[in-house]
Chain A
């Protein structure tokens, strides 16, 4: 039996001391995806015990390219905590981050609780309050992003921070699969995508998550935020970088990382559990 608690401790310490670690699978190749989800839940449990609040879920590995890269054929998911949400306008503090990358996504706000199995995309349509453009800042506590599936799952699906737009729309007011997205770094186009990049349709992606969570007897709760998956490849970020993510006819999101020296000194602690400047508390 693998000591899952010990592996959870490694990730916890990595975050606390702001020191990236080797992949868990390097010395524990026997780790299963289910083990990895248990590790994820152990650390989420620790953070909520310290006062953080689960505000939603994120779906990862929704593109064929990412799935091929990790040799998997289905997405994964992680938890969104209130401490991970950044607000528009203020610079995103650099100090708590390891090796962040930026993605444009479509987020949903749940109106009704949704629980698998047997959830269709029509059920999702029915259960969703609104869709809204979002930026996800993914990050990895694993050195140089040398992740296998189990590593990213254990590390909360490589979650970092996220920013929600303000232009919430009803699902019938935007063609979610067709909407175009362009991502700019410091004013230069880096990549583009469309809604269909998230598992064919952002609603299909949420249906996958609801059904997947159903296997663990977990529901997508009313009021939760769901990040439905990246619409293009994640883009490396550096201190001071400014990102612009434009969604056609919908909303353009802006986000700037603080210069490195403005953040707290390295080793400041497990930011996700403690919150910090530029973040929204519970």
Chain B
């Protein structure tokens, strides 16, 4: 299957489809409907997809983790999370307007973002304590995900190829020092003033720093450069993703870390 996939220029065609979805803001059928995709091939597609942006002047500023909650993992029947790449052009300012029409069918998730002060070498960084010592600051974050697939439905290789549905993200105004207690900090998500999600970052692989560890290992496995000082990591959704439309205002609040805001216009 792999050989046939390569001969047909499968990766190049997949990249073309996914880019067309972004540019036209129209969803596409799942790649796996027309091609058999392994996880390796899916990451290869993601790599090529991002290379197009990098060649056009974008800069990779970090990574996002996906499928980090027990519910999501069960739903997708997986036991390993996935990652996507964050580009400078995805980063928004707190409270900034986001044009609904730039996206296909956006959803918003509340997350813990970490900003590294040091590299994370998976051979030497093995515990949550180790990770804490590599983090410079944390912030509450809203991630806007936007699957390029019809109905926001996909298999594991589909979502990996689609850069883990990454679209936009915004960090709260407060940057705080790392705390190992972050997994117990109360998190609340509000849409138009109404509370739509409660939880704590323990939903993220037990601890958001564990997501950083998992990411460091995945990057090494996939031949990516190791996490470096200055990289930002969106550790994974604390709760359910909330669909948003023009006119919606979303606020995320994380105890000890302040709040973060996004306006859909």
Determine the residue in chain B with the shortest Cβ distance to A121. Answer: B93
Instruction: Give A156-196 interface residues, CB cut-off 8 Å to B.
Output: 171-173, 175-178, 195-196
Answer yes or no: A25 CB below 8 A from chain B CBs: no
Q: How far is the CA of A172 from the CA of B113 in the complex (A)?
A: 13
Say yes or no: A177-B88 contact (C-beta < 8 A), given A118-B59, A171-B137: no
Task: Give bound CA distance, A172 to B61, whole Å.
Answer: 19
Chain B residues closer than 8 Å to A123, beta-carbon distance? 230
Q: Are B61 and A177 in contact (CB under 8 A)?
A: no
Q: Majority SS of interface residues in chain B? A: loop
CA distance A196 to B95 in the complex (A): 11
Q: How many residues of A contact B (CB 8 A)?
A: 19
In the assembled complex, the CB of A33 is this many whole angstroms from the nearest CB of chain B, namely: 23
Q: How far is B136's CA from A173's CA once the two chains are assembled, in angstroms?
A: 11
User: Complex Cα distance A204/B95, Å?
Assistant: 12
With contacts A200-B94, A200-B95 taken as known, whether A178 is within 8 angstroms of B59 at the C-beta atoms is no
The one of B115, B173, B229, B232 in contact with A178, judged by C-beta atoms closer than 8 angstroms, is B173
Q: How far is the CA of A201 from the CA of B136 in the complex (A)?
A: 19
Kindly identify which residue among A120, A126, A175 contacts B91, using a CB–CB cutoff of 8 Å: A120
Q: Are B137 and A125 in contact (CB under 8 A)?
A: yes
Contacts of A121 in B (CB 8 A): 91, 93, 171
How many angstroms between the C-alpha atoms of A175 and B257 in the bound complex?
A: 9
Q: Say yes or no: is B175 at the interface (Cβ < 8 Å to chain A).
A: yes
Q: Is the CB of A177 within 8 A of B137?
A: no
Q: Is A50 an interface residue (CB 8 A)?
A: no
**Given the complex of chains A and B, what is the CA–CA distance between A118 and B88 in angstroms?**
8
Is residue B264 within 8 Å, beta carbon to beta carbon, of the partner chain? no
Residues of B contacting A177 in the complex (Cβ-Cβ under 8 angstroms): 94, 173-174
Q: Taking chain A's interface residues, is the majority helix, strand, or loop, or is none over half, making it mixed?
A: helix
Q: Does A49 contact B (CB under 8 A)?
A: no
Residues of B contacting A172 with CB < 8 Å?
136-137, 175-177
Hey, which chain A residues are within 8 Å of B59, CB to CB?
Answer: 118
Q: Are A175 and B61 in contact (CB under 8 A)?
A: no
Taken together as a complex, chains A and B put the C-alpha atoms of A89 and B59 apart, in Å, by 46
Chain B residue at minimal CB-CB distance from A172: B137
Q: Which residue of A lies closest to B229 (CB)?
A: A126
A173, B232: Cβ atoms closer than 8 Å: no
Contacts of A204 in B (CB 8 A): 93
**Chain B residues engaging chain A, CB cutoff 8 angstroms:** 57, 59, 61, 88, 91, 93-96, 115, 136-137, 171, 173-177, 229-230, 232, 258
A residues with a Cβ closer than 8 A to B are 118, 120-123, 125-126, 171-173, 175-178, 195-196, 200-201, 204
Offer 13 A-B interface pairs, CB within 8 angstroms, sorted by A.
Answer: A118-B59, A122-B91, A123-B230, A125-B137, A125-B175, A126-B229, A171-B137, A171-B175, A176-B173, A178-B174, A178-B258, A195-B173, A201-B94
| Supplied contacts A122-B232, A200-B95, 7 more A-B pairs, CB within 8 Å | A118-B57, A118-B59, A172-B137, A177-B173, A196-B173, A200-B96, A201-B173
Q: Which 5 A-B pairs have the closest CB atoms?
A: A177-B173, A172-B137, A175-B174, A172-B175, A126-B230
